[in-house]
């Protein structure tokens, strides 16, 4: 470890007090992101269950809750970008607000570095779990869409009295025929 890195990690009391604010804020932001992503991961299970039960009301509520959490994540991400930019400027990163958290953690005092690494690892694992659960929901939605499309095609073929093929090479319903029966006379 170079002398510059040692001095960056230990720092003076004044530098440490300057770092406590942004580092503490970054830790809080990471905790918020973890909570938001864990909540989204839980909602993805509810989302999948609502799809399986064909519960449109629960599905609508779940989608609304997911949208609200995504908005909260976006707001938290704005704060993270601001804080990372401030820390990057303090440590002299050329990447500014695009600086990786691992780069910042390397330049922090040991206790703060360990906390940042722990939080970053936990957030990464939580996001991976969320992605896996969302992949299951996406696969279920695609399967349901294919099933519904197959049902639509079957109905179209049944209602096509002429049994002629459409442009796509399949029996299609064609244009709607409007007819009525006068039941009053």
Domains of the chain: 3-159 (1.20.58)
How far lies 95's CA from each of 7, 15, 19, 26, 89, in Å? 22, 21, 19, 17, 9
Query: So what's the pLDDT on residue 7?
Result: 37
Residue 53 clears pLDDT 60, i.e. is over it: yes
pLDDT bucket at 10, cuts 50 / 70 / 90 = very low
Query: So what's the pLDDT on residue 169?
Result: 67
Instruction: Say what the pTM is.
Output: 0.75
Distance, C-alpha 88 to centroid of its chain: 26
Q: Write down the mean pLDDT value for the chain.
A: 84
- The per-residue pLDDT for range 84-139, each reduced to its tens digit, is 999 999 999 999 889 999 999 999 999 999 999 999 999 999 999 999 999 999 99
């Amino acid at each position: 470890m170079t002398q510059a890195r040692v001095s960056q990690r230990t720092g003076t009391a004044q530098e440490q007090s300057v770092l406590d604010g942004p580092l503490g804020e970054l830790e809080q932001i990471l905790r918020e992101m973890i909570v938001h992503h864990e909540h989204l991961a839980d909602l993805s299970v509810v989302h999948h269950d609502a799809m399986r039960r064909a519960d449109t009301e629960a599905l609508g509520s779940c989608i609304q809750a997911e949208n609200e959490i995504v908005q909260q994540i976006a707001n938290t991400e704005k704060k993270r970008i601001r804080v990372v930019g401030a820390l990057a400027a303090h440590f002299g990163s050329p990447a500014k607000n695009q600086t990786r958290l691992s780069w910042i953690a390397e330049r922090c005092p040991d206790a703060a570095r360990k906390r940042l690494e722990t939080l970053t690892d936990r957030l990464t694992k939580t996001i991976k779990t969320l992605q896996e659960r969302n992949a299951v929901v996406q696969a279920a939605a695609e399967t349901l869409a294919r099933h519904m499309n197959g049902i639509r095609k079957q109905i179209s073929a049944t209602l096509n009295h002429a049994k002629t093929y459409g442009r796509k090479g399949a029996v299609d319903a064609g244009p709607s025929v409007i007819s009525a029966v006068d039941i009053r006379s």
